Amino acid sequence: MNTECASPEKSVCGALAPQTGYSPWLRLIVGFVTIWALIFGVGSLAHLLPGAQHMAQVIDERGLRATAIYYTDFEEPAEGSERIRDSLEYMPGSRK
């Protein structure tokens, strides 16, 4: 590459590519609208998934916080945690 082509002010190597496309603000708005449509449009179809009705019923019956990562104040996670710990500690065929 020669020094004449390195400076963008000169058009010796050819014309600079014009800035084509949409405004960045328009693309940002389109992106937000797309995300909103996916969440509220496509996401609302989740109730049609098999088992979703039963899962929602169980969540309502037990008063679970569906967005919680780990439950410490409910009986089911405590039992599950104990079973996992026991099965790892007292594996079949292992001697302690």
Give residue-wise pLDDT tens across range 21-79. Answer: 778 899 999 999 999 999 898 888 887 888 888 888 888 888 877 777 666 666 777 78
Q: Phi and psi at residue 19, in whole multiples of 5°?
A: -75, 100
Question: d(Cα 80, Cα 92) in Å, to the nearest integer?
Answer: 18
Domain ranges of the chain: 21-48, 51-91
Give the number of residues written for the chain. Answer: 96
More confident residue, 82 or 75: 82
Give residue-wise pLDDT tens across range 46-55. Answer: 878 888 888 8
